[in-house]
Amino acid sequence: MLALHIVQAAMVYVNTLMVQDVLAEPDWAAVLTAADKRAG
């Protein structure tokens, strides 16, 4: 069971890195609104 928690944490980390890479692209800067950038 502990191994599943470790796998889940690793997947969340990788997902975060992938989202950061996408959002770093200049094309997304024009698409995102202020509401998107505040994430909530």
The per-residue pLDDT for 40 is: 57
Which pLDDT tens digit goes with each residue over 3-40?
A: 999 999 999 999 999 989 988 898 887 888 888 878 75
Q: CA-CA distance, 26 to 10, in Å (whole number)?
A: 27
The per-residue pLDDT for 37 is: 79
Amino acid making up residue 15 = N
Helix (H) or strand (E) holding 21, with range, is helix 2-23
Half-sphere exposure of 27 (CA within 13 A, CB side): 2
Structure tokens at 1: 């069971």
